[in-house]
A and B are shown apart, each in its own frame.
Chain A
Amino acid sequence: MRPRYLVMLLALSAIWGSSFMWIKIGVREIAPATLVFGRVGTGALALIPVVLLALGARGAFAELRRNWWPLFLVGALNAAVPFWLLSWSETRIDSGLAAIIQAAAPIFVALLALRFVPSERVTGWRLVGLLVGFAGVGLLVGVQKGGNVVAALAVVATALCYAGSILYAGRRLKGVQPMVIALGTLMSATLLMAPAGISQAPGSAPSAETILAVLVLGVVCSAIAYLLYFAIMAGAGASRAILVTYLVPAFAVFYGAVFLGEPVTASALIGLALILGGVALGTGAVSPVASRRARLRPPAPAPRRDLG
């Protein structure tokens, strides 16, 4: 990987990793639905000029219109619903923990592929990887006290949402410009979140810190992060871009500990190790017995766009 892309990869991980912290800051004051509405709304507004410059008004509009229904579904499944679930769960559990559980998304991709992609087989070390990853998720959910189990399960549900939308988008939005997918997703998520987001909005303006959190989430963690991700995909390939999955939870735990004073527990570290090890093995990215066949096999579908 050229140094340029390495830097971009680190920057992307740092950005996506920080989204968990900004969510935590935002939901202290405003309702999760309002936070998500502000986030996807500002993200869409920030992407509009970029897309217009890159593709021209006519081309972008035509592509949005042609694919409106899949884009709408992906907007629900890849942004509105998981963002809402994640933001709600962060009213109860630590941001670092949420990031660790969410890192299991590629495992769910492999699992769903098993069910919905007929040619997909998972055997040997990949199967071991899936089991190890699930053990990690199970551990983290299991150690939660009382009502926090539900919050941890909500994060598991976001990982499932991402996995489902990745497989769906891979099939129905193949060949659509990535930027158009990003914009269409954010626009339909804005539409979906408007009723809940506005009806639960506070009457008076929230504090500057909360507004900053929403703006950073929308402009940096959604719009700029998408652009970075697609640039890495195009320049260094999907198998490199996917490395971001491993780095995001590390950054998120770091931010949580340093800026929010969240404890770094032993169970969180063990869960993180299990999940990331499981992802590495389960997606076939790493194989202890490197057979020729395993080396020739392309890695499992890359979890695109699983941003916090």
Chain B
Amino acid sequence: MRGYVPLLLLLAAIWGSSYLFIKVAVRDVPPAAMVELRLLFAVPVLLVYLASQVGGRKALSELRRVGRVGLVLGLANAALPFTLIAWGEQHVDSGIAAIANATVPIFVVLLALHYRPDERVTRLQGAGIAMGLVGVAVLAGFNPTGGWWAVAGTLAVVLSSVSYAAANLYAGKRVGTLATGPVLAAASMLAALVLLAPFALLRRPTETPSWQAIASIAALGLIGTALAQIVFYRMLRLYGSARSSLVAYLLPVTALAYGAVLLDEPVTGATLGGLVLILAGVAIGSGRLRLAWPW
């Protein structure tokens, strides 16, 4: 037990900060370009980490072996959701985005129902899923600031959750023996870097971004993406996926706190109601299905 709680809190603190960094960064840099820059910071660190774990030559051969799976995950687990969240945060508070993004396990269950007919869901789990979806409605529907754009922003983040959930199911089927977490992370982020490049070039920032935006993107890439992944693998290795995925419950809470304290975002009844409904829905709804993060 010693070491578990500190690691969990550290991971929640650094991962939760990414929503704040995204919010600050998209003030100056268009979403796709922002994600591209974020990946430019993160990918070298992940590659070096991989090489330090398994050795340079082995790392190369593993990356090559991942191939198409890495490409699909790069799209569904990095390029698409990262851009959707960045676009969404142009219109909603960072805390709201973090809460909307906590719905991933709910969509994993929903998608599994459709694509894996042998999966059964109990009545209680069904209620949990419904509760989570009501939470999304509360979060998006009663959003006081920004009208329809804010609703669209929340839904974009929810869509990113669907993308993560799809990636989770896809990886669950194929990854098993293929590769380890660090290999998949490095491969998929590298793939996302390539996939997003044309879109990033299409909409470049019109003027040189501010120091603040650049620092934010660097922190997002180095801390919120690379370091968070590395700490998460360490946690998976030490404590297993069931206990590691508990971080998903803490993430929206820390992100909400960062937004409220550092960006003066309002914490409304709808925000807290959505948070409670979604987290409770996740806890109840994921019940029997074994939930793992994409890797």
A87–chain B nearest beta-carbon distance, Å: 16
- Interface of B, helix, strand, loop or mixed by DSSP: helix
Residues of B within 8 A of A203 (CB): 210-212
Most buried by B among A196, A201, A205: A201
Which residues 225-251 in B have Cβ within 8 Å of A in the complex?
227
A194–chain B nearest beta-carbon distance, Å: 5
Which of the residues A72, A191, A198, A204 comes within 8 Å of B215, measured between beta carbons?
A: A198
Which of the residues B3, B14, B212, B227 comes within 8 Å of A198, measured between beta carbons?
A: B212
In the bound complex, how far is the Cα of B20 from the Cα of A194, in angstroms?
10
1/0 contact trace for B10-28 toward A, CB 8 Å?
A: 1000100100110010000
A69–chain B nearest beta-carbon distance, Å: 5
In the bound complex, how far is the Cα of B11 from the Cα of A69, in angstroms?
12
- B202 adjacent to chain A (CB < 8 Å): no
Most buried by A among B24, B212, B227: B212
In the bound complex, how far is the Cα of B260 from the Cα of A196, in angstroms?
12
Which of the residues A69, A195, A201, A204 comes within 8 Å of B258, measured between beta carbons?
A: A195
> In the complex, are the beta carbons of B212 and A195 less than 8 A apart?
no
> In the complex, are the beta carbons of A72 and B10 less than 8 A apart?
yes
> Chain A residue with minimal CB distance to B2?
A69
- A177 adjacent to chain B (CB < 8 Å): no
- B101 adjacent to chain A (CB < 8 Å): no
Which of the residues A69, A191, A199 comes within 8 Å of B262, measured between beta carbons?
A: A199
Residues of A within 8 A of B227 (CB): 191
> In the complex, are the beta carbons of A201 and B211 less than 8 A apart?
yes
> In the complex, are the beta carbons of A194 and B223 less than 8 A apart?
yes
In the bound complex, how far is the Cα of B219 from the Cα of A202, in angstroms?
16
In the bound complex, how far is the Cα of B117 from the Cα of A193, in angstroms?
48
- B216 adjacent to chain A (CB < 8 Å): yes
> In the complex, are the beta carbons of A205 and B223 less than 8 A apart?
no
23 A–B contacts from the bound complex (CB under 8 Å): A69-B6, A72-B10, A191-B223, A191-B227, A194-B17, A194-B219, A195-B17, A195-B20, A195-B21, A198-B21, A198-B212, A198-B216, A198-B219, A199-B24, A199-B216, A199-B258, A199-B262, A199-B263, A201-B211, A202-B211, A203-B210, A204-B210, A204-B211
